[in-house]
Amino acid sequence: MTVETGLPLLFRALRFAAEYHRDGRRKGVGASPYINHPIAVASELVAAGVSDPEVLAAALLHDTVEDT
């Protein structure tokens, strides 16, 4: 699966994570929306050369599993 063919998966993962974390805020200065964290993790993976949509979706969803 390429990133292009995996876009629907990535959008579903992002939508699910955003809904799950909709009321969450990061602790500390600024208390930014929690969804920023999984997006940052996925972005770091892309910057490191990861292009597998399933791995990127897992990055977006990783805290939804940890928090349940």
Active-site residues, by number, are: 66-67
Q: How many residues would you count in the chain?
A: 68
